[in-house]
Amino acid sequence: MDTRINNNHNHSRPTISIKCLQINCRRAYAPFKETMNYILQNNIDIAFVSEPYLINDHRPATINPITCFHHHTSNNRILATIYINNNTINPILIQQHSDSNFCVIDILLNDRKLRLISVYRPPNDVNSTEELIDKIEQALPTSTNHKIIIAGDFNAHHNAWGCPNNDDNGVLLYDLFMTNDLNLHNIGSTPTFIHSSNNASSIIDLTLASPQAIIEQWKVNPDAIITSDHQAIEFNILETCEQPTNRNIRQSTYRYRTDQANWDSISHQFKTEMESNNINEQTINKIHKPKEIDELIHQITRIIISVCDNNLKKRGLISSKKCPWWDNELVQLKRATTKAKHAFQNAKKKQRWLDSSTKIANSYRYQTQIY
């Protein structure tokens, strides 16, 4: 969270600016590495990541101190995630509304709830649009004081977000947005996806928000993550505040990192500890005195802390601002690749003929490969 107080906006009180990133990593290692480094180097607070890079038992990869939130499943490939890089944000995964393509978390900002939804809609699934519409409608908060932001890869086309033509998926989604009063924050005609083989481009990555949520400085940043064929989106969420907060001070009451928790094992150990301490329904029903209740609460609290200490990593201060693999050589390679990319795109705009023998195209392909 950016701790600058933004007094240049037309708000009655000062605001804090929450920096957000939106990207599709194409399930690849290189975009994941570049995304993690970009989050740390640019103090990104929240990242909506579609098609993340997965490790081990289909878990999305991450790096300390960034926490990844996603639906907990061992059967389906995770395709929608939310990464948090700010200890003053108090995230809670809403598991009942989440699945492998749809990640929902609630965060508290100055005692106000903000619901964040990360979306990935498979392009070739004929039923996925109707399913996505149902999931969004079910996840929409019923309280008008509950703000919402939805971001992800919708794989749909409509004039409303800059596409030259509408498709059936785009029409259905546009109706959903209008019906539920969701504001579309995509502006301009910069594509969010450029096909690596034929250079075809489209706008399929969308950012939506309820009217109460204030989003500013929305932009497509082609140079942020250059190893993905999706172009990164950046924007800020503004929230009124009483005083600035320090992003390195953990204000949350949550002391553990739960993104990689084995809940079955934790539940089993907790039950075992309760039984060994003779805490069960029968013994609880025999308690009548306030002092006995306090002692029982203290005992159960000690058991919970003991089990969590043995199974979960503790949350702490932000300890690193740099990925261990990111060095000066990669910095220089990214600059050279970005320069070659700009030359390639400028030549394309000027309608020059580019084939495998063209010097500009070869230069861009070479830089991309070595990067």
CATH no. for residue 113? 3.60.10.10
Asked if the structure places residue 168 within a domain, the reply is: yes
Q: In this structure, are 284 and 193 located in the same domain?
A: no
Q: In this structure, are 61 and 26 located in the same domain?
A: yes
Q: Are strands 92-93 and 183-184 parallel, antiparallel or unpaired?
A: unpaired
pTM above 0.85, yes or no: no
pLDDT at residue 353 greater than cutoff 90: no
Comparing 13 with 73, the larger pLDDT belongs to 73
**Range with lowest mean pLDDT among 34-48, 76-90, 115-129, 258-272:** 258-272
Name the nearest CA neighbour of 64 among 317, 248, 300. Answer: 317
Please tell me the predicted confidence (pLDDT) of residue 273. Answer: 92
Confidence of residue 357 (pLDDT cuts 50, 70, 90): very low
**Range with lowest mean pLDDT among 100-104, 286-290, 328-332:** 328-332
- Reading phi first (left if > 0) and then psi (alpha if -120 to 50, else beta), residue 162 is in left
Count of domains in the chain?
A: 3
Are 245 and 3 in contact, with CB atoms under 8 Å apart?
A: yes
Q: In this structure, are 73 and 145 located in the same domain?
A: yes
Residue-wise over 92-125: b if at least 16 C-beta within 10 A, else e?
A: ebbeebbbbbbbbbbbebeeeebbbbbbbbbeee
Q: List helix spans (H) across the chain.
A: 29-41, 128-139, 168-179, 263-276, 281-285, 290-311, 328-349, 359-370
Average pLDDT, the chain: 83
Q: In this structure, are 225 and 299 located in the same domain?
A: no
pLDDT at residue 174 greater than cutoff 50: yes
